[in-house]
Amino acid sequence: MQIIRGLVNLHPSSRGLALTIGNFDGVHLGHRTILDRLRERARALDVPTAVVTFEPNPREYFDPANAPARLMRLRDKAAALAAAGVDRLVLLRFDERLRALTADDFAGQVLAGALAARHVVIGSGFRFGRGRSGTVELLVGHGRRLGFGVEAVEPVMLDGERVSSTRVRAALAAGDLPAVRRLLGRDFSISGRVIGGRKLGRKLGYPTANMRLHRRVTPLFGIFAVRVRGVGEGARPGVASLGTRPTVGGGELLLETHLFDFEGDLYGRYIEVEFVARLRDEIKFPDIDTLLARMHVDAAEARRLLAAG
């Protein structure tokens, strides 16, 4: 998949697209339905597919302190979109210039002009342009006038509710990983580069691969049975803690993952941790011996759950 940062970097071969527009955070089942339809229309028109998204996303731009947690870093979103068959990822910087574009200007200058869109697939609640004034009906009218097709895809419903990134975040906050799995169509995961730590886990017999979350603010906390990708072939079982390590005087939010039956140096390795089952909350133990005893219990339970599939 080609990643294009800004309209100024568009090559002529990257114009004339079947495209969709949105944040696509999590690339959940609702997003995948839109992408499936996008691929169908692109095949019929014999043109590339593209996802147009914004960095930062508009909610982060307008209210960074209260913007919702990202479910994916940009790198992981790009990988998920590529796996879904997207040919181009067009990243538009959301700034004052873009914010000020009216719906008419966005349709004319960006979609018809810069991107030379042939077909646009969007969700039925799509809004665009300054003040979110543009509606699906308005975009359909612009498409007729400017020469591109428009179709809206109805939301995917699960248990009577719309599948959305907001719903995924709520399920994560509740620790309901089965619900998360159903909404995403896969296990929730966090990816990143392994960093050095205090090596306390190694002293206790549980060496860990540690990962900072950087800009990510996650609604997920606790102790988990996990599978780890990026260490040899396939996924390796393990147990992970996502929290601040209160028993040992921690403070920074870290993801610490112990891989079962593994010996080796993972520092600097980029890995993906898939959250399979939540074992318990993170709690502060009275001493290291009590913590270690509970770690034995957690590891045994994680092994049992992962072996059961």
- How high is the pLDDT of residue 249? 67
Q: Is the pLDDT of residue 247 over 70?
A: yes
Q: How many residues can be counted in the chain?
A: 309
- Among 162, 178, 212, the domain-final residue is 162
* Residue 140 to residue 281: CA distance in whole angstroms: 49
- How high is the pLDDT of residue 304? 97
Pairing of strands 119-123, 149-153: parallel
Pairing of strands 222-229, 270-280: antiparallel
Q: What is the mean pLDDT of residues 209-235?
A: 86
* Residue 207 to residue 200: CA distance in whole angstroms: 8
What is the secondary structure of 81-107 as a DSSP string?
Answer: HHHTT-SEEEEEE-SHHHHT--HHHII
Mean pLDDT of the chain, nearest integer: 91
Angle of the 165-173 helix axis to the 177-184 helix axis, nearest 10: 160
- Residue 140 CB neighbours (<10 A): 15
Domain ranges, residue 36: 2-162
- Residue 31 CB neighbours (<10 A): 28
* Tokens 């059961």, residue located: 308
Alpha-carbon torsion (227, 84, 115, 146), positive or negative: negative
Same domain, 137 and 232: no
- Per-residue pLDDT band for 203 (boundaries 50, 70, 90) equals low
- Per-residue pLDDT band for 120 (boundaries 50, 70, 90) equals very high
- Among 162, 177, 198, the domain-final residue is 162
Same domain, 222 and 276: yes
Query: Per DSSP, what are the bridge partners of residue 123?
Result: 153
* Residue 86 to residue 119: CA distance in whole angstroms: 14
Same domain, 301 and 199: yes
Phi-psi label, residue 132: left if phi above 0, alpha if psi -120 to 50, beta otherwise: left
Number of domains in the chain: 2
Per-position b or e across 233-262, b if 16+ CB within 10 A of its CB: eebbbbbbbbbebebeebeebbbbbbbeee
Same domain, 140 and 39: yes
In sequence order, what are the residues at sequence separation of 6 or more whose Cβ sits closer than 8 angstroms to the Cβ of residue 235?
A: 227, 228, 229, 274
- How high is the pLDDT of residue 196? 81
CATH number of 202's domain: 2.40.30.30
Same domain, 10 and 97: yes
